[in-house]
Amino acid sequence: MKPKLTLYSRRECCLCDEMKAVIRQVAIFQEFDFEDVDIDIGRDLQERYNDQVPVLFIDGRKAFKYRVTAGQLANRIDKKKSKL
């Protein structure tokens, strides 16, 4: 089973764009499902994540906030896969 990455982000956010670029880079070598959730589509999401974007969850658990490197993300996905 592939890990599921969920990124909570918003438009016109340079940190969000950076994290999306890292995710795309890791996707070349790693298999995972990915969902990008715009927090500005709902008030509850805004209240929960407004000051935290971008925040990346792996299988429902918070993994990274603000920044991540390709190496860090790949290692976390590898660890997740080894537990499956």
3 close to 80: Cβ distance less than 8 angstroms: yes
Specify which residues 5 forms β-bridges with.
34, 58
CB atoms closer than 10 angstroms to residue 8: 22
Per-residue pLDDT of the chain (84 residues; tens, 9 = 90+): 899 999 999 999 999 999 999 999 999 999 999 999 999 999 999 999 999 999 999 999 999 999 999 999 999 999 877 776
Per DSSP, the chain holds a count of helices (H) and strands (E) of 3, 4
Tell me the pTM. 0.93
Domain coordinates of the chain in residue numbers?
Answer: 4-83
59: left (phi over 0), alpha (psi -120 to 50) or beta: left
Give CATH for domain 4-83.
Answer: 3.40.30.10
Distance CA 35, CA 32 (A): 10
